[in-house]
Amino acid sequence: MTRRSMIQALNEALHQIMAAHPEVFCLGEDIGRMGGDFGVTRGLWERFGPERVRDTPLSEAAIIGAAVGAGMVGMRPVAEIMIADHITTCYDQIVNNAAKLHYMFNGQFKAPIVIRTATGGGFGGGPHHSQSIEGWFMNVPGLVIVAPSNPADAKGLLAAAILSDNPVLFLEHKALYGLKGEVPEELYTVPLGRAHVARVGRDATVIATMRMVVDALAVAAELAPEGLEVEVIDLRTLRPWDHQTVLASVAKTGRAVVAMEGPRLGGPAAEISATLSEALFGQLLAPVQRLGALDAPIPMAPVLEQALLPGRSHLAAALRAVMLGASEAAHV
């Protein structure tokens, strides 16, 4: 084990898997000599050369279009969309080409591509650089959505995503890039579609991803002296999400808070809470609470952004609400 930041863990995964698999190459804006806007591709251009680490024009549609074509002929492209908000300009390539390719051609072609992108708010980036985009893609058959919360998972999940034959949207929360943790030095994979019980508890379950997992673990530690033992489930993969692990946890605790940074309307929190209510209605001791952002564009001003995005105080309030059996959401 070596202590790594999430940026370093992702970078190490790319170095190791590109060395082991010559069909893997990277493409995106400023990923070559510059090493990427956040430094995730640092050193790849010098090691593997411009053929395998390709700087592209400022055209997200061209990046993903080229990646889809490369995947069809046997390559495994890792495409970087610098900021997740800009993925709207290549939405058609992802949804109507990459996700449907295997089905439309009856298995003759596949799109083993990974789309890495920096998501999330909390840094004053404003409405065009701070959105949580997972809800935009949750109902797209054929697409996998991965969302790590720590460096060790980030490295293993990225390796698994690159080796997968499915198109994978790989979300990297900007607020977690500097988060450090113990990471195995060797190349390894973390299974896609499998959640992780990040903390064991008996009284209530928090289901979360990315930054909200970090917040959930902190809140659980704060509430433990009050006698409230919170179980924290890190989904890790949003599509397909791990029904078995989540349902087993909530069946045990009888209470659930689904905590996501994105808007509550139409997002993964809505899907998960609906599934819990359908499957465990008679076993729930309180209504499922959904925690998410307010229904508004994300402001530039930090104080307004903090008011809009869910945080630890909102999560603590939601957990206290489910313990009381209350039905009022903590952040709507």
d(C-alpha 148, C-alpha 156), whole Å: 9
* Beta sheet of 256-263, edge-to-edge order: 196-199, 230-234, 204-208, 256-263, 289-293
Q: Indicate which residue of 129, 173, 314, 331 is catalytic.
A: 129
d(C-alpha 170, C-alpha 158), whole Å: 7
Is 314 among the catalytic positions?
no
Amino acid (1-letter code) at residue 10:
L
Q: How crowded is residue 172: how many other Cβ atoms within 10 Å of its Cβ? A: 24
- Tell whether omega for the bond before 141 is within 30 degrees of 0, i.e. cis: no
**Total count of residues recorded for the chain:** 332
d(C-alpha 203, C-alpha 171), whole Å: 30
SS3 92: helix
d(C-alpha 195, C-alpha 233), whole Å: 7
Active site residues: 129
